[in-house]
Amino acid sequence: MAAGLDTPTTGQVFIGGREVSRLNETRRTLVRREAVGFVFQSYNLLPSLSVAENITLPLRLAGDTGDPSWRDEVIDRIGLRPLLDRRPAELSGGQQQRVAIARALAARPDIVFADEPTGALDAATADDVLGLLRDLVDDLGQTIVMVTHDPRAAQWAHATLMLADGRFSTAPSMARPAAVPAGDVVESQ
């Protein structure tokens, strides 16, 4: 709902300062593709497109060429340069998720929603991907909202909200990897 995929029955949703809950489906789509990036548990890459084409797909759909230097920076930062001509089926799970992250960032969204981004990955690869997400926040100033069941994944966040039985509850204090600065825990209202 916060990503503008669905509309609330009560309350309001603001993305980048715009109220989206009363927009129709097409207008919400336009807001989404400008301001929101998505990363999914199952990657959701289009098997018919190459890595490069998958990354630029959201931009093409927006009829936008985007910022080539930003795109190059993202590709290099994520380490996809050697894989650009491959098809998703030729990549490992970790590599596919990196492509999905690059795709989410390509349009320089205000916010990236990541839904269980490591749910399908082994522990080592998951750590790599989470490290990458954290680096993107730290180095590029990207806002990322991640949903996860994995307490280890949650440790990488600056702030954590716990959702239990449909309500936010105060997050317990968590141990964090040494390299990661502690974030604020936002409490539910």
Partner 1 sequence: MRRSRLGARVFSRGHVGAFLALAFAVFGGGTLVTAGAVLTETGLRAQVPPERLAHAQLLVSAPQRVPVDEDFDVRLLDREPVPADLAERIARVPGVEATAADVTLPVSVSPISDSRVRSALTADAHDWAVAALASPPLHGSAPAADSIVLTRELATDLGESLSTGALETGDRVDLSLGDTRREVRVAGIVDAPGAAVHLSTATVASITRERVDLIAVRLDDGADTDTVAEAVRDAVGPGFVVTTGDARGAVEALGVGNARLELLALATSIAGTLPLLVGCITASALATAIAGQRRELALLRAVGATPRQVRDLVAGQATVAAAVGLAPALLLGYVLAGWCNTKLAAAGVVSVQLPVVVSPLAGAVVALLTLTIVRVSARAVALRASRRPATEAIGEAQVEPRPPTRVRTGLGLALLGLGVIPAFAALVIRGEDAFLSAASGTLAGIVGLALAGPVLVRAVTGRLARGTGEGAPVTRWLAVRQTRAHALRSAGSVTVLALAFSVTAVQVYAQSTLERATAHEQTDGVTAAARIVGAMTPVDLADVAEVDGVEAAVPMVSTSVLRSNRWLGETTTERFSALAVGPDADRVLDLDAVAGDLAALRGESVALDATTARRWGVGVGEQVALRLGNGEQVDPVVVATYQRGLGFGTVVASTDLLTMHGLARSYDTVLVQGDAQAIDGLEAWADDRPGQRVTPLTADAALTTERPWLERWLGVVVLIPMLGYVLVAVAASLRTTTRRRREEFATLRMLGATPRQVLSMVTREAVLLSGLAVAAGIGVAVLPMSILGAGVLGRPWPQGPLWVLPAIATILVVIAVGSMRGTTGRLLRRSVSP
Q: Kindly state the smallest distance separating residue 40's Cβ from partner 1, in Å.
A: 5
Give Cα separations from 21 to 34, 86, 98, 147 (angstroms).
Answer: 16, 38, 30, 21
Q: Kindly state the smallest distance separating residue 174's Cβ from partner 1, in Å.
A: 26
Nearer to partner 1, 1 or 186 (CB): 1
Tokens for 57, please give them.
Answer: 């797909």
| Secondary structure (DSSP) of 103-172 | HHHHT--SEEEEESTTTTS-HHHHHHHHHHHHHHHHHH--EEEEE-S-HHHHTTSSS--EEETTEEEPPP
Q: Kindly state the smallest distance separating residue 53's Cβ from partner 1, in Å.
A: 7
Binding site for partner 1 (CB under 8 A): 5-6, 25-26, 29-30, 32-33, 38, 40-42, 44, 46-49, 53, 57-58, 60-63, 89, 103, 107, 115
Three-class secondary structure of residue 83 per DSSP: helix
Query: Are 110 and 62 in contact, with CB atoms under 8 Å apart?
Result: no
Nearer to partner 1, 20 or 107 (CB): 107
DSSP state of 34: H
Tell me the residue type at 156: W
Q: Kindly state the smallest distance separating residue 176's Cβ from partner 1, in Å.
A: 28
Nearer to partner 1, 63 or 172 (CB): 63
Nearer to partner 1, 104 or 130 (CB): 104
Nearer to partner 1, 6 or 76 (CB): 6
Q: Kindly state the smallest distance separating residue 155's Cβ from partner 1, in Å.
A: 24
